[in-house]
Amino acid sequence: MTSWLESSRHATGDPGRVHTEGRVVRATVEQAREQVAALLGVRPRQVVFTSGGTESVNTATWGATRARPGRSIVLADVEHSSVRDSSARAGSVVPVEVDRLGRIDPASVESALQNTARAGSPAALVHCQGANHEVGTVQPVREVVEVCQRHDAFVHVDACMTAGHIEMDLDELGADFVSVSAHKLGGPPGTGALVVRRGLRVEPWLVGGEQERARRGGLENIPGIIGFGAAAEALTEPGRLAFESAEATRRTDAIVAAATTVDDVEVLGDRDRRVPHLVCVAVGGVEAEPVLLGLDQSGIAAHSGSSCSSESLAPSPVLAAMGVDAERSLRLSVGWSTTDDDVEAFATAFPRVVAQLRALRA
């Protein structure tokens, strides 16, 4: 982290200016663009820097629906709130059901596209997350993209949970839009990117400047972009991504093993096809919030539901769509700074916290 922090202190020029400071910063921004593009398997010109995954999602939704106005949007209720909310604001939404593991069925997507076409209004856009942000289930993205290509519908992939954790070749995938968030892969918060398919031009969501080749107005977040590039470069080192993925899987497997030693604890989502760094469990007999508070008192930071729903009292729409209890989920993730001691601390604290809470209810 020291290298990009040190570099960002001197990146004070405006990259849109022709003076020396501006040109130096422009070179730094373009280097970061190349680093991010290399991680994702695309060309640098396809990468549009944003303020994070939420802006990228909104930009994709806006661009697709402006290019094909009046058409519907196809998505599943397990999508992130930024996907659901931006789509609801942009037009009519056609829902797609998921199974109990939170997995999207490509056949259901195709059926939705056929139905909208028969109704005389072909869908403008299909959203398909790379992996679910609450339970970690990896989605059949490739199959969904192929369905969309057959029906000439734009497809947006929310890859915030998969980028930097699973090998990705987005150019080969062929999605029209892909959203990525820097902090999800070890970079700084408040920075992200929207990857746009080669040859595709859509209206920008943020206007008021010609930055990012006139695809996103506003002065770029230079320190954040430098950090994003540095994190991406680290993950493209030979064997680095595979190593971190294996370590994350080993630790989340240990977390699952520790959690399921407690009676009436169920793993939610797909245990086999999931992202390596996230697991979700349902704890019977107690609600999630007191479990989280008990773990917090033991120095363990966990969450219930989506990482973006902390201020919402409503049950998780993701878990409701899966048909499971939406009020007893515990979301547990590991990152580059997680150690085996952290996992052991959870294994010690979790049974004790749950037992104490169940005893109080009894």
Q: What is the pLDDT of residue 305?
A: 64
Which band of pLDDT confidence, cut at 50, 70 and 90, is reported for residue 24?
A: confident
Is residue 87 classed as helix, strand or coil in its secondary structure? helix
Question: Rounded to 5 degrees, what are φ and ψ at 284?
Answer: -75, 150
- Beta bridge pairs of residue 171: none
Q: What is the pLDDT of residue 11?
A: 64
Q: What is the pLDDT of residue 5?
A: 53
Is residue 331 classed as helix, strand or coil in its secondary structure? strand
160 is annotated as an active-site residue = no
Question: Would you say residue 286 has pLDDT above 60?
Answer: yes
Overall average pLDDT of the 183-197 stretch? 96
Ramachandran sector of residue 103 (left: φ over 0; alpha: ψ -120 to 50; beta: rest): beta
CA-to-CA distance for 212 and 218, rounded, in angstroms?
9
Of 10, 112, 157, 82, the closest CA to residue 317 belongs to: 82
Name the maximum alpha-carbon separation found in the chain: 72
Overall average pLDDT of the 312-337 stretch? 84
Which band of pLDDT confidence, cut at 50, 70 and 90, is reported for residue 12?
A: low
Domain ranges across the chain:
2-235, 240-361
Share of the chain above pLDDT 70, in %: 93
Overall average pLDDT of the 243-271 stretch? 96
Which band of pLDDT confidence, cut at 50, 70 and 90, is reported for residue 325?
A: confident
Q: What is the pLDDT of residue 2?
A: 45
Torsion of CA 11, 44, 152, 163, to 10 degrees: -70
Q: What is the pLDDT of residue 284?
A: 92
2-235 carries CATH number 3.90.1300.10: no
Question: Would you say residue 327 has pLDDT above 90?
Answer: no
Q: Which two tokens stand for residue 29?
A: 């921004």
What are the tens digits of pLDDT across the range 259-268?
Answer: 999 999 999 9
Which band of pLDDT confidence, cut at 50, 70 and 90, is reported for residue 333?
A: very high
Q: What is the pLDDT of residue 301?
A: 92
Share of the chain above pLDDT 90, in %: 80
Residue among 148, 160, 280, 308 flagged as catalytic: 308
Architecture of the domain spanning 240-361: Alpha-Beta Complex (3.90)
Question: Rounded to 5 degrees, what are φ and ψ at 239?
Answer: 80, -10
Q: Which two tokens stand for residue 5?
A: 């922090």
Range with the poorest average pLDDT among 93-107, 170-184, 302-316: 302-316
Overall average pLDDT of the 54-68 stretch? 97
Of 180, 135, 152, 333, the closest CA to residue 249 belongs to: 333
CA-to-CA distance for 10 and 120, rounded, in angstroms?
56
Overall average pLDDT of the 104-122 stretch? 94
Cβ proximity of 63 and 204 under 8 Å: yes
Question: Would you say residue 10 has pLDDT above 90?
Answer: no
Of 229, 230, 227, 203, the closest CA to residue 217 belongs to: 203
Residue linked to tokens 């398909």: 128
Of 93, 98, 191, the closest CA to residue 144 belongs to: 98
Overall average pLDDT of the 24-44 stretch? 94
Overall average pLDDT of the 186-214 stretch? 94
What are the tens digits of pLDDT across the range 306-316?
Answer: 445 455 556 78
CA angle 5, 240, 179 (to 5 degrees): 70
Average pLDDT, the chain: 91
CA-to-CA distance for 183 and 185, rounded, in angstroms?
5
Cβ-proximal residues to 97 (8 Å cutoff; 6+ apart), any chain: 76, 105, 108, 321
Q: Compare 304 and 93 and report the one with higher pLDDT.
A: 93
What are the tens digits of pLDDT across the range 129-162?
Answer: 999 999 999 999 999 999 999 999 999 999 999 9
Overall average pLDDT of the 276-304 stretch? 93
